[in-house]
C-alpha cells in the first residue's frame, strides 16, 4: 500500500473518540507503517464535537486529513454524521453506530472499539496486531469487554462483505 490511508473518527466529548484514534494509530505503527494522528481536544470533556485524524502509509507528511480526502469516516454519534460527511472522499466508507447491534455489545462504552472492529475488516492489519493494540490500550479489567466488542464489529462487517 503506497498510498496514504486517511481515516477520521468523529463523535462527542466522552464517547472515546480519542481512545479510538489512539488504538488505530498504534495498530498502524505495529504493522510497520509511518503514522500520524492529529486531534483537537481543548474542550473534549464538555460534550462538544471531537474529531481525530489518523493517516498511515509508507510516508506521511501532514497530520491532518483534507476535506473530501477521507477513505473512512467513523462516526460514534448519529448527529455527527452530517457535519463530517464533507470530509469523506467519493466512494469513501462511512461507518456509523448502525454497523453493530447495540444490544450485543458488553456495554455502550465499547461502541468506539466495536466500530474499530468494523473498520478493521477494510484495513490490511492482522487480527493479532489489532488485539495487541487493544491489549496495550486498555487496563486488564477492560480488555476482555473491548476484545469482545471489537470482534462483534469485525465479524459483522465481514458478514456484510
Binding positions for another protein, rule: CB under 8 A: 12-13, 25-26, 29, 32, 34-43, 45-49, 51, 60-64, 66-67, 79-80, 82-84, 86
Which residues, at least 6 apart from 12, have a Cβ–Cβ distance to it below 8 Å?
Answer: 47, 48, 49, 50, 76, 77, 80
Q: Least CB distance from residue 42 to another protein, whole Å?
A: 3
Which residues are 9's β-sheet partners?
52, 74
- Which one, 64 or 102, has the nearer CB to another protein? 64
End-to-end alpha carbon distance in the chain:
21
- Which one, 62 or 107, has the nearer CB to another protein? 62
Q: Least CB distance from residue 126 to another protein, whole Å?
A: 15
Task: Report residue 158: phi and psi, to 5°.
Answer: -65, -40
User: What's the half-sphere exposure (Cβ side, CA atoms, 13 Å) at 138?
Assistant: 23
- Which one, 63 or 124, has the nearer CB to another protein? 63
Q: Least CB distance from residue 160 to another protein, whole Å?
A: 28
- Which one, 29 or 151, has the nearer CB to another protein? 29
Cα–Cα distance measured from residue 110 to residue 122, given in angstroms and rounded to the nearest whole number: 20
Q: Least CB distance from residue 38 to another protein, whole Å?
A: 4
Amino acid at each position: 500500500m503506497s498510498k496514504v490511508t486517511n481515516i477520521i473518527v468523529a463523535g462527542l466529548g466522552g464517547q472515546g473518540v480519542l481512545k479510538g484514534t489512539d488504538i488505530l494509530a498504534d495498530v498502524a505503527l505495529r504493522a510497520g507503517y509511518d503514522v500520524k494522528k492529529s486531534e483537537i481536544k481543548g474542550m473534549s470533556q464538555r460534550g462538544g464535537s471531537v474529531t481525530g485524524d489518523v493517516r498511515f502509509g509508507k510516508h506521511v507528511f501532514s497530520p491532518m486529513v483534507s476535506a473530501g480526502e477521507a477513505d473512512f469516516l467513523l462516526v460514534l454519534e448519529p448527529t455527527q454524521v452530517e457535519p463530517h460527511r464533507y470530509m469523506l472522499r467519493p466512494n469513501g466508507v462511512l461507518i456509523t453506530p448502525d454497523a453493530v447491534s447495540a444490544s450485543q455489545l458488553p456495554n455502550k462504552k465499547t461502541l468506539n472499539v466495536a466500530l474499530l472492529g468494523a473498520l478493521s475488516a477494510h484495513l490490511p492489519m492482522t487480527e493479532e496486531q489489532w488485539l495487541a493494540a487493544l491489549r496495550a490500550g486498555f487496563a486488564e479489567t477492560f480488555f476482555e469487554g473491548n476484545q469482545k466488542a471489537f470482534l462483534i464489529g469485525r465479524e459483522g462487517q465481514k458478514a456484510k462483505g
